[in-house]
Amino acid sequence: AILIEMTARVTNQDSKANRATAIPGAITRAEYIYLIILVIVCSIALGVRLYRLGSFPANLMADEADNLGVIYTILAHSGPGPFGLDWKPSPAFSMWVASIFVYFAKNDLLGLRLPSALFSVLALPITYLLYRRYIHPVAAILALTLMSFSVWYLNFSRSGWENVNVVLLTSLALLLLHKALEKKQWKWWILTGLTASLGLYSYFSGRAILLSLIAYAPIAILLHRKQVTKIVAGYGLLIITAIALFIPQLPSIAADPARFNIRAERVSVLNAAEDGYFGHYGIGSILLYQIQRNARFFFDGSVMGGPAYSPPEQPLKDTRPRYSPFGKPLLDPVTALLFALGMILSLFCLRNSSIWWVSFLVPWFFTQVLSINTPDAARGIGMIPSICFFVGLALDKIIAVFKNNKARSVAIVIATFIVASVSIWNTIEYFNWASSPEFLEAREPAVPLSQFEQWSKVQQQRAQEHLPPLTVTEWKEIHGDN
């Protein structure tokens, strides 16, 4: 809070001098302080993620176990290649990236969870650079603080699962798209396409990155009417790059397309239109139900109540309680209030906020509205940068209300205190929830950490012998829970 107040004063004192003696590319004293604050936030965020990362949560849930089993086969040269398919099935590229960390961590659980921790923190400065194009640095940092220490983001930042990488890739793709539209240089379009391609190689919801970029194209053309030809050509280069870089993956998909698409088909709510979905029949009725249900979840946790939907031909376990505290809204009350306020305020500046509406609605619609058993915090992870932008926009407008420098400094300190308090509360809530018997039970089937060393040796031995990894269910049948 002291650093932020100092920044406000330095900014006010230096503004005239900076305008008179500005050196292109020079960093002002205020910007140095912002960078210091950002480094502090990132350092604390990293510390919270690294704390007992290899032993907390206290069991290895099935998704983590299956991921680590695939990684063992990769390290033993008996698993899928970087352009093969893993167990989900999704591109094995993410498992190859994670295998580097597992190798240097000597096959420990820490190595499996470390990529999520590191990439989730790396997303913070990338997202900061993105937010700074729209809102004041103080509002951007406060929004990122709420994002970093939310129960939602913390949970997946400490998981041996690649889905949190989508947050980093989403922010990076949007930042590069801004560069492409501003600089009008082909390299930025190529880099944006490369990032979108990485989204295709990542967790399922990473596919929405390319869809969001394409969905924004008509708006980009409308806002840059004088550069229509270059924008269209740039988007063509973006799409060609993304598809071209994904071509190495196509042979493994073509070898068994049904297997590659089985996950998307199983979770598609449209497949439930004929048999009914929670008492609703027909695509129109089901979609309306899904829209209102998933819109409420940001503010009302009661929509998670009741049984999960399970197709008659495919009994499914309700995995949602392991992704966010069951019965509670996805956002804490302060973040939810700022999110709602930011969305309302954004309607008065749609020219600037349109890209954020697109990057929010596209993944929300495809991963929540069109999916069964939603709201699902895992599938919706790619919405986080957009949600927190609206939070930052609300903070920015609130701070801007105070025209007097002293009043503004006081407002910034109060906002900082509230955000810090909420962040501390959310962090405590995460650790309390993640250590509760209900959470550990929700992660079942899982391998108790007391069995991890034995489980790891068996899985590595099977990998060396070119045998498939044991599933957690198979392991429990052999070794039980003790």
Cα–Cα distance for residue pair 107/101, rounded to 1 Å: 8
Q: Which of 328, 420, 447 is nearest to 142 (CA)?
A: 420
> What confidence score (pLDDT) does residue 412 get?
94
Helix intervals (H) in 300-404: 333-346, 350-364, 384-400
Cα–Cα distance for residue pair 315/312, rounded to 1 Å: 7
| Tokens 């194209």 found at | 217
Tokens of 217: 């194209």
Tokens of 431: 């650790």
Helix intervals (H) in 247-282: 250-255, 257-267
> What confidence score (pLDDT) does residue 313 get?
62
Cα–Cα distance for residue pair 38/141, rounded to 1 Å: 7
Residues 4, 8, 11, 14, CA torsion sign: negative
Which whole-number Å values give the CA distances from 284 to 135, 277, 361, 372, in the listed order?
A: 38, 12, 18, 15
- The pTM (predicted TM-score) of the whole model is 0.94
In the chain, pLDDT over 70 holds for what percent of residues? 93
Do residues 273 and 281 make contact, with C-beta atoms less than 8 angstroms apart? yes
DSSP class of residue 277 equals B
Mean pLDDT score, 38-67: 97
> What confidence score (pLDDT) does residue 17 get?
43
> What confidence score (pLDDT) does residue 341 get?
98
Do residues 69 and 469 make contact, with C-beta atoms less than 8 angstroms apart? yes
Cα–Cα distance for residue pair 361/224, rounded to 1 Å: 22
Cα–Cα distance for residue pair 396/418, rounded to 1 Å: 15
Mean pLDDT score, 134-152: 97
Mean pLDDT score, 347-357: 96
Q: At what angle do helices 29-50 and 109-131 cross, to 10 degrees?
A: 160
> What confidence score (pLDDT) does residue 11 get?
52
Which whole-number Å values give the CA distances from 396 to 343, 360, 402, 421, in the listed order?
A: 13, 19, 11, 19
Do residues 292 and 261 make contact, with C-beta atoms less than 8 angstroms apart? no
pLDDT digits (tens, 9 = 90+) for 309-347: 877 666 678 889 999 999 999 999 999 999 999 999 999
pLDDT digits (tens, 9 = 90+) for 86-98: 999 999 999 999 9
Higher-confidence residue of 177 and 31: namely: 177
